[in-house]
Structure 1
């Protein structure tokens, strides 16, 4: 029986990063993955493939709508080759997962392909295609991630009533895609197919999209996507989804209780994700779960069984790949006797629509609820020379700072390249910068980042220069 210092169940961003960091710190490490490729949801059917399709569809939309204005004439009709688009996406996925294989080899991490389940607190059974194997580990990290959720009355047939997994490999552009859920995944994939020619209707139970983010971001993204001809049915409670041949009929009640019927050829169900612990046999190890099916952990991500840890989507908190990575690193360093920390308030959230949406820290709603006195500095993207040069005029940067101390409490932005820009906000808040600190930093001109400086100036005695 092979013995290890650490064994990790699940090879998504949390699992494989934990494995690499454990190996770097001198631990004999194994990783167990049920699927044929490493990388988990993020690399195979999540973050990476969705960004590939978002980029491809963005290029198509630019060619159709903006090339002529840029002075680029393309003879003949511009067409979508969806099969090639999907093939390119798969190529990106394949290249990325092979990169993880390389990293496992480089760090001398033993990889087991099969379903891992607990025999007891220190032994894992691995059910493989050619039989079963058992390994022993001093420490075990659960990193099994999450799966798409659905509603009890919806039957996902993976053909017309689909999840994000199937939406990444459709063989045709839908005529009318009905998206249930106005969160990150639904909006990103909805925008992909809207760009490619589909009619898109988003049905959301709450009174706004991206409900967990600052209200100003939600309002601006709604306005922009309506301009892009995406339809929104907000404050609608879906009560039935039925397929009849190639049609899908969705019925919902609006906020007044009136029934609304929508008919499309595809329905994408994006109502969140659930922790995935199926087949782990946690009972054999004595690991406790909470009432929402998540593995219970303490501040050190340790379960009630002292040698077993859990990270990522399978525990409480935001279901984000970069959160899982930070947690994987934290557990590895704790096992090595170090004293790492994670400030969960400083883990950014991003929506990869165009314009992109990104945020870190407290929202205005949270600050009001907590009774914190704050000031706001906001600057519109359209006031930037860089935005006019690239025709990316939508959006703004908003900085929230403590009214007395000027410390930055939250950074919220929507616009071109905000997924990258938000790191400036994270860095500033990690070092407890004031709005004035940011305003006095030189920002290259012309860049989108100048909006961050201007928003900081606006928060510092309303000193924005270019509005």
Structure 2
């Protein structure tokens, strides 16, 4: 029987990063993963295979088409007869995925992480370790890390299948739907809805909550909604779905909005109403692994479960279901097992929605800070006053800084606009070290760059913005 210091169950962002870091720290390490793509084993989990990476590839392709067909003329570029080749677009997306998933396999080989393909199941305790069924082969490990991720939440009225799809299905449409319905106005719904809207679909988004992006800063949510509606996305909030019926040609959705019953017809329906922990087949009941009422693995602040030597990280423990959060937990846990001081600062984890315009935030919203009893000051600066944004032809949106009115400590950063996914990192770094809006305002930013808007927003917190 093979024996390892660390065995990771799950090869997504939490699992593969934990395995690599454990191996770097000198542990004999293995990873068992059951993810398949196109009938073949594929490391990287949902993120690399059917989530973060392929969706961004499709977003980029659709944005290029939008630019060619709607924006190029403004730049003096005349393009006639542009058309979408969905098959070629999907092929490009798949090649990006292949490169990155193959990269994880290479990193495992480089770091001497042994890989098992198939289900990983907890079997029994063995002294100071555990016996795990790794894809049909029993192995022993002193430390077991559960990183099995999450699955799309299914709407009981609309089980996945046929014309009703989740994120992976929405990335494989063979042609552009004429009418596309999206249930859920969260990250996945907005991103995938945006892809197919730009390629020509008529997109309707149905959201149960009464407002748009209620986790984001109010000003950002308001601006983003305005921009999406200008693009042609149709939103309905506070709706209750009562019936979903599909036939050979499409899907009919009956919902109630403002006490009125409406039935809408779609060619395809994306259901994106959140995700649920993936613990099926793990053997949790057999070994007594504690789960909470929603099925997430219970852990303490050091990712320890109720069973000695078994830990859990990533989506399967709940919290922000973000790949970068999961990766940081993987690093932190491996270092804790090695006796080091692994740590994740959950207060400054960035959130990004890769629509056009992009949306990004970290820390407290203005409303959230006030609800905590803090006195705040804010600074806001628009991209319409930035030379680089005007040169790009994309002056939409703004950057907003939230700081403590008494100490000037940065409490939150909120952005909507082109490229903000790349701008938020510097502010998160300053927040990580307890920096102030003055620190951000005094940092020299190259000119002309979009990042100058971040500096100006920090200056605006003290009412001394230079270019507005």
In 2, Cα distance between equivalents of 1:175 and 1:404: 54
2:118 alignment partner in structure 1: 114
CA distance in 2, matches of 1:272, 1:79: 33
The CA distance in 1 between the partners of 2:94 and 2:213, in whole Å, is 28
Q: Residue 84 in 1 paired to residue 92 in 2?
A: no
Q: Structure 1 stretches (4+) deviating beyond 4 angstroms?
A: none
Within the alignment, does 1:124 sit opposite 2:127 as a pair? no
What is the Cα deviation at residue 410 of structure 1? 0.2
* Structure 1 CA distance for aligned equivalents of residues 243 and 313 of structure 2: 35
Name the CA distance, whole Å, in 1 between partners of 2:453 and 2:227. Answer: 19
Counterpart of 1:32 in structure 2 is: 32
Find the counterpart in structure 1 of residue 369 from structure 2.
367
1:126 to partner: Cα distance: 2.6
| Aligned equivalent of 1:5 | 5
Deviation at 1:186, TM superposition (A): 0.2
1:21-60 superposed matches below 5 A: 21-35=21-35, 36-60=41-65
Deviation at 1:124? 0.8
Find the counterpart in structure 2 of residue 246 from structure 1.
249
Give the whole-Å Cα distance in 2 for the aligned partners of 1:81 and 1:116. 40
CA shift, 1:260, in A, is 1.9
Mapped to 1, the partners of 2:419 and 2:331 lie a distance apart of 27
Q: Provide the rounded CA distance (Å) in 2 between the counterparts of 1:212 and 1:272.
A: 14
CA distance in 2 between counterparts of 1:54 and 1:319 reads 20
Q: What runs of 5+ residues in structure 1 fail to find an aligned partner?
A: none
Mean alpha-carbon deviation: is it higher for 366-375 or for 13-22? 366-375
Higher mean C-alpha deviation, range 47-56 or range 62-71: 62-71
CA distance in 2, matches of 1:153, 1:225: 28
SS of residue in 2 equivalent to 1:409: strand
Instruction: Quote the Cα distance in structure 2 between the aligned partners of 1:7 and 1:213.
Output: 37
Decide which moves more: 288-297 or 256-265.
256-265
Q: Counterpart in 1 of 2:231?
A: 228
Deviation at 1:285? 2.4
Query: Which of 171, 193, 198 is equivalent to 2:201?
Result: 198
How many Å apart are 1:208 and its aligned residue? 2.2
1:138-153 equivalent positions in 2, closer than 5 A = 138-153=142-157
Give the distance between the partners of 1:173 and 1:49, measured in 2 at CA.
17
How far the C-alpha of 1:154 sits from its partner, in A, is 1.5
- Whether 2:70 is the aligned partner of 1:69: answer no
CA distance in 1, matches of 2:212, 2:331: 32
State how 1:297-336 maps to structure 2 within 5 Å.
297-336=299-338
What does residue 181 of structure 1 align with? Answer: 184
Tell me by how many angstroms 1:284 deviates.
2.4
Does the 8 A contact of 1:311 with 1:327 survive in 2?
Answer: yes
Alignment partner for residue 379 of structure 2, among 373, 377, 380?
A: 377
Q: Residues of 1 paired with 2:77 and 2:157: CA distance?
A: 50
Partner of 2:14: 14
Whether the aligned pair in 1 keeps the contact of 2:427 and 2:440 (CA below 8 Å) is no
- 2:297 alignment counterpart: 295
Cα RMSD for the two superposed structures:
0.9
Gaps of 5+ in 2: 36-40
SS in 2 for 1:66: helix
> Which residue of structure 1 lines up, in the alignment, with residue 38 of structure 2?
none
Question: Which of 387, 407, 410 does residue 408 from structure 1 map onto?
Answer: 410
Asked whether the equivalents of residues 208 and 218 of structure 1 are also in contact (C-alpha less than 8 Å), the reply is no
What's the offset of the Cα at 1:211? 2.3
Report the CA distance between 1:85 and its aligned residue.
Answer: 0.2
Q: State the partner residue of 1:464.
A: 465
C-alpha distance in 1, partners of 2:193/2:274?
A: 15
Correspondence for 2:104: 100
Question: Aligned partners of 2:384 and 2:425: how far apart in 1?
Answer: 21
